[in-house]
Amino acid sequence: MKIVVIGTRGIPRILGGVETHCEELYPRIVALGHEVTVIRRTPYITDDNRVSEYRGVKLIDVYAPRKKSLEAIIHTYLAAIKARSLNPDIVHCHAVGPSIVMPFVRMLGLKTVMTNHGPDYNRQKWGRMAKTVIKLGERWGTRFSNRVIVISKVIAGILEKEYGYKDSRLIFNGVNRPVKSQSKDYLETLGIAGTPYILAIGRFVKEKGFHDLIDAYSKSGLSGTYRLVIAGDSDHEDDYSQSLKKQARDHGVVLTGFIKGEKLNQIMSNASLFVMSSYHEGLPIALLEAMSYGLDVIVSDIPANKLDTLSPTDFYPVGNVDELARAMQRKCHTTPPSRSYDLTPYDWDQIALQTIEVYKEIIC
């Protein structure tokens, strides 16, 4: 089969959960004998990822404006036109906002799959008009795609409740089994080698709740023994990301920026506790990655975070800074050396096979 992927910023080494999903999934599909082309957004192409192929996946760069309210939709329309010229068997669109183009893609005579990574219209960064457009993307993507993949049972329930759609295919996000780093040279550059630290990972957008986490860290009284490390950055610098960075500096928080590879491995391998303070998620890959390292976790009690393998003591009420501070105190005073989680449903090789089966349903 020949598959063209649209809707994502691109791969490799581009920040975002959808991007991580695509970076793991599509090389595996190529390895199983299929041809995959990912169409990338030009603002995210740097000297670090300016390549035409990644692990067998072909990469094509198409213009996108560097404006968060227009970037995804304009790029995905242009990507759909480019996809038509490639004559694929399947066009696979990721995320509900970009899926507003699905009627257009079908008009081009192409067969389509949409992966719904969660109700992005609930993200706090969007205004009323943007939320309306993204919600329309979910509606049109659900209605006009040949098949819809969801990454969690929660999302499947939303589609059934909102649109009466009961035929979604549940395929989880995945996680790799890591080989923990034995090095600490990167930690030394951050000044945290040999120091216990609490870790959080994600983009600097309001729904990630990092402002709550910093406030909770400040209230917890842990700053004398534990550092707080936040790995991530903003896609588009704005008032929130600037204020978050100032808040972090004022409270002695270590900000690493966007990291991958060995740097991320060292950070994950040596953390004492992982915290996810999000108000909104689909199925968080960062949480799965923390669990794959055996880290003890604290997560907000939003539906997307309630994985079966977690325990009730891992959750706190979303937005409740005092409860988060108490949970951090409790965990840091009783943190086990390592935890073991059942990650069987989140195997990338199995996810690749499941995705191919969805493609076959359409073209056979």
pLDDT digits (tens, 9 = 90+) for 90-108: 999 999 999 999 999 999 9
SS3 326: helix
Reading the block at residue 188, the tokens are 């030394």
Domains of the chain, earliest start first: 2-174+347-363 (3.40.50.2000), 185-334 (3.40.50.2000)
Does the pLDDT at position 140 exceed 90?
yes
Give yes or no for a contact between 80 and 104, defined as CB atoms under 8 angstroms apart: yes
pLDDT at 335: 65
Question: Letter for the amino acid at 9?
Answer: R
Give the C-alpha separation, 19 to 98, whole Å: 14
pLDDT digits (tens, 9 = 90+) for 188-240: 999 999 999 999 999 999 999 999 999 999 999 999 899 999 999 987 788 99
Q: What is the pTM of this model?
A: 0.84
pLDDT at 65: 93
pLDDT digits (tens, 9 = 90+) for 326-351: 999 999 998 666 899 999 999 999 99
Query: β-strands 197-201, 273-276: how paired?
Result: parallel
